Chains A and B, each alone.
Chain A
């Protein structure tokens, strides 16, 4: 084309970023890679090909790790870890800073290699992925520096197994490696088999930074290698990927004591209210669903538009779709690159073809003749009942429906198994700040989308997983409290004496406590409770599955509790303390009778202290305003996890219950408490304390019976958000495995004793809350 012709057509023309340096780097490495173990690359072994999805060309041969490779990597990490932790925060900060600098120095090489390997537009890898990866290392160099001051009670977990996806290869690596290293862990990381190249370049960077051998180990291969890491002798698994695999990892790690964080799928709502800046909301959609070809876990893939603007909005949207440019990801004028692999392309095509009820609109954009490209797609007019409104597509496909009112928008938005992110657009600050906290999502973007920063925690609720990456919450996921653990001996109920004395006085048989009332156990059975000398102390109901069901229903009905103020919850906790104190002697005697010890008075006193601590925290366990690099604020709001099932401690039948219950209540959770199986009467005596303390019905529910049976039902119950077990029965594995159904948060004791005598309220507060990051950019 001549300049004169271009003057008339005003086409953009090609603007390719050169791949030469990146390709030369691959050739320099022999175009074949082994693993990076103990500071060196291993000899390449049985290999598979890594291809450029835009062209189908082979970029390099990668080695499929064997069990020996994984073992070697874990051993290297294990050997390196004590010295790495002992190096101290400022020592580690130096290395993280060096890595950040090297990432910056080689930024274009990383960006081009990422685009070659993944198919994402060079603009995204250059302007988003790589700078955010750098930012993560800089930010966490700071966290390493501050660790001793800011987290004096916590220490590294040890060796972390990290499995990352193909959609943001280097960025996900940074999200995993930076906090792990900062806190003194060493890592074995497996990049996705489609996209391992920038991880291998990163290994090279680690060498250049002089990182001690074994601190970072990278093994390549498919899901089988991931399984090996999950089953290896590691202290933590951090996984980002699909919900299905996440559930398998949850099951596989159950009971092992391996810490676990899962960042999984989503079907994130994108809500447009009628007073939004519509053009900006549409531009936001481009960033939400056509960013990285829609292969983004937090993609705003579910468009909810207010009915009165729906027609105008969709017209604007279809017009906007026409100017999206799809093609060579290395071209600087491209909005949408290649889908990562033909397998993914086939999956997207299959899902789109399965839409029977929606109007499928695909923009008539120019498509390359070859390569793995999928056109920007909008499917309008779907209902929540359509599978495409529920299922993650993980491609450039937007589904949409309408709503009438803010309340309906919320219902639609939250009508999902997922809870990763949500976006809302409105110019009304009242509406925005009312809706944002009510969205079930770990991240909410107001008038913007897909904003990320190392200082702002990212992660999900529900089946989008648990754990946070970024910010202080992200560090908690790579540390543990510095406490020595002792094994927990099973606490067994006493048997009846050969000739128990007949009880005296009026019979007082506790029922279960459900929805603020005493309810007979569904089973219709009770069991006797004997004291240390075999004297009959009373009877308790044998709770069963249906009682758990009823209790969860009652708790669900009490969701208003989560919306109460911290001040009110504090008042009620103080009131409980007041009423318990009034009956302190009775409770102390009861505990002595149950346990046969003389510790009852001390246990009651400690329980009162825990209630006071929880009341104290109720209005003080505050969120944060994160310093993110935008004009705006990212609020870290702490919110109740929801409804928590708790198997209460047997070794401290009253104190264990109160220590767990009180902080949970303080944070606005509802609880289902399974009383100590051996010594349940300490819990049943509480009914009247609760009744007289203004605790709303359904907020606290208490069951008695077998921890195994109650725990199993709780762990499987899909409307429970968390389950904790301090039971002396060995249930940790069963509970964690069963919790995979809805990926509830678990906190189990793995058969170790908890020191109830110490006030550890903060740990409970942490477990009782999720942090939600609400991004609010502003500007007059």
Chain B
């Protein structure tokens, strides 16, 4: 292991590669993870002790706390990392356009001014394939990328060639980020080679678009499977690993996150490549977002607090953060209707 590479993770932000305050450069100038040969000894040698992981997660909120201006700044950071998402059967172009407008102006201008912040945007907008053109159009003139869920999302059980083709179509339609779903059955049946090959094919189909591998951790059974699947997807070239589709019964949790970001750290320590992390589903409170940010900072370091390496897949989180920010500015608790809806 190269300790110098590992040291980079913890170095001061001033020395880290330039990271954008808002979205746009899908990988912030960092070299993309090219992947590597499948190394099963490594991937299958990873252990994940559930109760110890849960204890770490349970104690973290008590170990780190951000207050006052720091909390406001952290919440703004969280906004800049949100993949503002709509993945509903009744999505329409108009609905998506409204979402995109919110992504461009996630916080009321007067609040931003009071906070002394320039305009910020969310990290991306995340939609189904058919909504890509509407989103691209609505986001014209911004640097906000459109992310599309793909590969037979959420189950990933449509014919393989169609899943690959879906990626290509989405990229052609203007998606700069593709959120693929892995075949959970490859994990559950221990067919690691198949998982690796599938991910590699998806990555290739993405071309220049960045690929987020959705593990659907709620369906993988054990944290050890989560660790193994994380590692194999990174070996196959994932730019991001992501917890959930938001459609499983259990979505992003802190223990799952800890396992995945520890895998990211191990991968970085060995290869020097930064892989991003996206918890999705179930994160709806500002307070939770702060815990996730501190988890990233503690386990992966400052560099992973930028939207090119960290995203929240969330739809209702933004609303809670807006209310908290207004409370910070006025000292009075806020109400939802005071903030423009998506």
Query: A residues touching B (Cβ–Cβ < 8 Å)?
Result: 1-15, 123, 126-127, 275-281, 283-284, 311-312, 315, 318-319, 322-323, 332-333, 335, 425, 427, 447-448, 630-632, 777-780
Contacts and interface: CB of A to CB of B under 8 A. Distances in A.
Interface residues of B, number: 46
12 contacts: A10-B293, A13-B66, A14-B67, A15-B67, A279-B262, A312-B1, A318-B3, A332-B64, A333-B63, A333-B64, A335-B63, A448-B55
Given A7-B117, A284-B52, A448-B55, A15 B65 contact: yes
A780 B222 contact: yes
Q: Which of B3, B50, B68 has the most CB of A within 10 A?
A: B50
B67 A4 contact: no
Contacts of B59: 127
Contacts of A333: 63-66
B65 A777 contact: no
A778 B1 contact: no
Contacts, number: 122
Contacts of A3: 69, 72-73, 76, 115-117
Contacts of A8: 13, 21
B338 interface: no
A719 B207 CA distance: 72
B204 interface: no
Interface in B283-304: 293-294, 297-298, 301-302
Given A4-B116, A276-B47, A323-B298, A13 B55 contact: no
B3 A280 contact: no
Chain B binding surface SS class: helix
A15 B294 CA distance: 14
A4 B72 CA distance: 10
A630 B3 CA distance: 36
B51 A15 contact: no
B286 to A, nearest CB: 15
Contact of A10 (B49, B52, B56, B77): B77
Contact of B21 (A7, A312, A318): A7
A283 B70 contact: no
A7 B52 contact: no
Interface string B285-325: 00000000110011001100100000000000000000000
Given A10-B13, A280-B56, A777 B63 contact: no
B219 interface: no
Given A127-B62, A277-B49, A279-B262, 13 more contacts: A2-B69, A3-B115, A12-B70, A12-B294, A15-B70, A123-B62, A277-B52, A280-B52, A283-B52, A323-B298, A323-B301, A630-B51, A777-B52
Nearest to A311: B1
Contacts of B305: 10
Given A6-B70, A15-B66, A322 B10 contact: yes
* The 9 A-B residue pairs with the shortest CB-CB distance in the complex, in nearest-first order: A779-B50, A13-B70, A6-B73, A280-B52, A777-B51, A277-B49, A332-B65, A277-B47, A779-B51
A323 B10 contact: yes
Contacts of A127: 59, 62
A280 B49 contact: yes
A631 B52 CA distance: 11
Contacts of B1: 311-312, 315
B117 A319 contact: no
Contacts of B101: none
Nearest to B325: A3
B340 to A, nearest CB: 21
A165 to B, nearest CB: 24
A778 B64 CA distance: 26
B54 interface: yes
A315 B55 contact: no
Nearest to A280: B52
Contacts of B66: 12-13, 15, 333
A724 to B, nearest CB: 41
Nearest to A121: B63
Nearest to B6: A319
Contacts of A5: 73
B169 to A, nearest CB: 37
B1 to A, nearest CB: 6
A7 B77 contact: yes
B302 A10 contact: yes
A278 B116 contact: no
Contacts of A275: 47
B48 A277 contact: yes
Contacts of B9: 319
Contacts of B72: 3
Contacts of B67: 13-15
Interface string B59-102: 10011111111101110110000000000000000000000000
Which of B52, B72, B117, B305: most chain A CB closer than 10 A? B52
Contacts of B21: 7-8
Contacts of B301: 323
B118 interface: yes
A427 B3 contact: no
A359 B125 CA distance: 51
Contacts of B262: 279
A427 B47 contact: yes
A737 B315 CA distance: 72
A319 B116 CA distance: 35
A445 B51 CA distance: 13
